[in-house]
Structure 1
Amino acid sequence: MHARFLGIGDLVETPSVAVVVDVMRAFTVAAWAFARGAEKIVLAESLDEALALKARHPDWMAIKDGPPAPGFDTVNSPGLLRSIDFGGRTVVQKTTAGTVGALAVKDAPLVLCAGFVVAEATARLLRTREGDSVTFVVTGEDGRADEDLACAQYIARRIGDARTDAAEFLHRAAASRAAAELAEGVRQGVHPDDVALCLEVDRFPFAMVAASEGSLMILRPRAVPALTDEGPVPV
């Protein structure tokens, strides 16, 4: 399988398979929301759209980057939302990089959103697409965020070899600028456990698939068979 690694601004054509990576913190947060019972996540194009969707659907929950703000239920922090019960709820998410990256490839036949917490499930689903070229969208820092690139390269390596050791890739992510900014409180809306939670490999057994549903881009969890009973996964 051929893999390429691009920033959002480097996308000039619609890929056949896109893996949008945002480790710190959009897609770690999304995975936690699903683990806490969310049914689906709407990836909003703007804060205004997120608030408008929330206004039309008061039972939905809205998440944003940065500090708490009126109209939003919580912020983009896995440490802060891991105790929230999302049972059966729809979540609207707007972040600086992750949701932007997913929307940039919304016309791709297959769009996966990923972080370390769903790495193996993502790689396992991609193994069923042997022969496809995979574009990893490195969302942070105009494609230069080392935590996102490390995770993308780790997943790419895991596609071919499930025994790939995560240590080198986690070390790079832990030493990234994003990790430092979270740890030092430079960013707002942060929990002290956020970096550690973003670096938990294979915490969750599902991949996350985004697809257009009507006018919205919707992210949903996708269970992936274990290695021993692996077979074609419907996409």
Structure 2
Amino acid sequence: MDTRFVGIPEVVETPSVAVVVDVMRAFTVAAWAFAQGAEKIVLAESLDEALALKERDPDRVALRDGPLTPGFDLVNSPGLLRSTDLAGRTVVQKTTAGTVGALAVKDASLVLCAGFVVAEATARVLGARGAEQVTFVVTGEDGRADEDLACAQYIAGRATGDGADAAGFLRRAAQSRAAAELAEGVRQGVHPDDVALCLELDRFPFAMVAAPEDSLMVLRPCAAPRPS
């Protein structure tokens, strides 16, 4: 498997297969939303689009980065989301980096969205699909976010069967700028457990696949193949 690691600004052509990584916190939150029963997640291009999609169907749950503002139901925090019943609901998510990264590669033949909580499942899907060239989009800090790069490198290692040990990759993520900002309360819309929840390796048994549906980019859970 040929792998490359790029930031969002470096996505200048459509990759064949893309894994979009946002550990802290977009795709950890997405995984928790599915665990709490969400049917699908619409990845919105802007806050205005997220609000418009919710206005069109008030049963949708609108989620954003930062503080809770009028029209939105949830913030981008796994700690705050984990007690929310989302059974059968559609979540509309707009974040600073994760959703932007997924939309940047929306025309790829396969788009997986990932964090540590779905790392093994993501690697298994890549292996099962026989992906020969994979572009990992490191969404945070224009590709410099070490928590996202560490997760991407770990998934790549697992997908290629090199037996990557998670400890060092998780340590890098725990020591990242994003982890420090969450722990210190620099960011808004934060729960004290957010960092720990983002670093729970393989908490969930599914991967997450994004694909166009009715002109929208929609994320859905995908069962991971059993190990051979």
Q: Which residue of 2 aligns with 1:55?
A: 55
Structure 2 residue 49 is matched with structure 1 residue 11: no
Note the C-alpha offset of 1:30. Answer: 0.1
Q: What are the residue-to-residue correspondences of 1:111-130 with 2, within 5 Å?
A: 111-130=111-130
2 CA distance for matches of 1:19 and 1:225? 17
Note the C-alpha offset of 1:131. Answer: 5.0
Structure 2 residue 216 is matched with structure 1 residue 216: yes
Q: Which residue of 2 aligns with 1:132?
A: 132
2 CA distance for matches of 1:10 and 1:217? 20
Cα distance 1:216–1:176, how it changes in 2: closer, same or farther (>3 A)? same
Look up the equivalent residue of 1:222 and give its one-letter code.
C
Q: Which residue of 1 aligns with 2:145?
A: 145
Q: Which residue of 2 aligns with 1:182?
A: 182
The alignment covers a number of residue pairs equal to: 228
TM-score (norm 1): 0.95
Query: What is the CA deviation profile of residues 55-101 of structure 1, one whole-angstrom value per residue up to 9, with x for unaligned ones?
Result: 01100001000001111001000000000000000000000000000
Query: What is the CA deviation profile of residues 6-44 of structure 1, one whole-angstrom value per residue up to 9, with x for unaligned ones?
Result: 000001110000000000000000000000000000000
Query: What is the CA deviation profile of residues 136-195 of structure 1, one whole-angstrom value per residue up to 9, with x for unaligned ones?
Result: 000000000000000000000001227321000000000000000000000000000000
Structure 2 residue 96 is matched with structure 1 residue 96: yes
1 CA distance for matches of 2:90 and 2:131? 34
1 CA distance for matches of 2:162 and 2:211? 27
Percent of paired sites with the same residue: 80
2 CA distance for matches of 1:131 and 1:73? 37
Q: Which residue of 1 aligns with 2:226?
A: 226
1 CA distance for matches of 2:95 and 2:124? 27
TM-score (norm 2): 0.98
Q: Which residue of 1 aligns with 2:193?
A: 193
Look up the equivalent residue of 2:145 and give its one-letter code.
A
Note the C-alpha offset of 1:106. Answer: 0.4
2 CA distance for matches of 1:72 and 1:226? 38
Q: Which residue of 1 aligns with 2:32?
A: 32
Cα distance 1:128–1:186, how it changes in 2: closer, same or farther (>3 A)? same
Note the C-alpha offset of 1:225. Answer: 2.4
2 CA distance for matches of 1:165 and 1:152? 13
Q: Where in structure 1 are there 5+ consecutive unaligned residues?
A: 229-235
**8 A contact 2:17–2:131 mirrored in 1:** no
Q: RMSD across aligned C-alpha pairs, in angstroms?
A: 0.9
* SS in structure 1 at match of 2:218: strand
2 CA distance for matches of 1:131 and 1:161? 13
